[in-house]
Amino acid sequence: MNRVLITGITGFLGSEIAKELISKGIQVIGVKRQASDLKRIKAWGQTIEWIDADSDLFYDSLQSANPNFIIHSAWTGVGANERDNLNIQFSNHDLLLKLLASTETLAIRKIICFGSQAEYGQFSEVISEDRPSRPTTAYGLAKQHQSEILEHFCTTKNINWIWLRLFSFFGETEDPNWFIPTLVRNILSKKPMDMTPGEQSYAYMYVKDLAKVVVDVIEKDVFSGCYNVSSKKAISLKNIVKKIEGILGVKNSTVNFGALPYRANQSMLIQGDVSKLEGQIGEILESDFDKNLEAVIENIRSIK
């Protein structure tokens, strides 16, 4: 029986991956802090085996759990105000190094870690993995560095390693300070929200679709390497606003397009070419964006 260890399991992405694995009858081992908030998983996570990352018994617990797959999704410092904090970003290497050290006595078949489009730096195009990494933030730099640590270790130990570079994604339990939840709350409360003209486009993937991709990577034979994970359809921020207004039945919202200038060197298209990954796991299927957006809005309204 596959036993999958997940770090960051109480977070937005990690919780959705865990839910998808459990729905397929795969045993999940969750790594959390002793003070972690379990609200995202308490309704369905009764079968999870827990390990406390900040316990003195971490290594002993890991050996007892005996996973054969690792999904490392924990990351500190994803907020905009911490993206250029080198100390915070590079502190993320500590847990990865602890996990890698533990594999010396575990029969690990595959390690999956998550990178970011931020590793590529500045671009405005549908970008492939052939593009050299030129990160412009401490966050992107730390992600790139961690991918090199993973590759070096797993290559020397003959462990299958997968580095998934994530682009934009959204879903019901994302951070309330992210763009879509903030936008929905402001429109609902009729609070003014200044924006750029909103012509920049992002390839937003629904988090449940993303979780299915990760499970496919677990279950299928995938060559070691870096792979983009992105929606295959980009949408402008202005069109996202209009869709939300339509779902809420709002004709004249307080979103002020053009009140803010574009940043210097603003990226106008952020989308990943996923043909390399599709060559390994088959076609990536995406569910309906509008229906998913409706579900996200309904969730926000229910907790408003």
Average the pLDDT over 175-190 and give the result: 94
pLDDT at 304 over 60: no
pLDDT of 251 reads 85
Domains and CATH numbers, the chain: 3-170+204-231+272-286 (3.40.50.720)
**For residue 77, what pLDDT band results from cuts at 50, 70 and 90?**
very high
| 218 torsion bin: left (phi>0), alpha (psi -120 to 50), beta (else) | alpha
**Tokens 């907790």 belong to residue:** 303
For residue 18, how many other CB atoms are within 10 A of its CB?
28
Render 229-281 in DSSP notation, one character per residue.
Answer: E--SS-EEHHHHHHHHHHHHT-SS-SEETTSSPPPTT--SEEEE--HHHHHHH
pLDDT at 18 over 70: yes
Name the pairing type of β-strands 3-7 and 69-72. Answer: parallel
Structure-block tokens of residue 291: 């229906």
Percent of the chain with pLDDT over 90: 95
Q: Is residue 72 a contact partner of residue 111, using CB atoms and an 8 Å limit?
A: yes
pTM for the structure as a whole: 0.96
Could you give the angle at the alpha carbon of 25 between the alpha carbons of 104 and 61, nearest 5°? 35
Q: Is the dihedral of CA 275, 278, 283, 286 positive or negative?
A: negative
**Cα–Cα distance, 191 to 200 (Å, whole number):** 23
Average the pLDDT over 88-106 and give the result: 94
Average the pLDDT over 86-99 and give the result: 96
User: Of 184, 154, 155, 215, which Cα lies nearest the Cα of 303?
Assistant: 184
**Cα–Cα distance, 158 to 98 (Å, whole number):** 18
Could you give the angle at the alpha carbon of 117 between the alpha carbons of 70 and 224, nearest 5°? 40
pLDDT at 23 over 90: yes
**What is the SS3 assignment for 77?**
coil
Q: Which residue has the higher pLDDT, 157 or 303?
A: 157
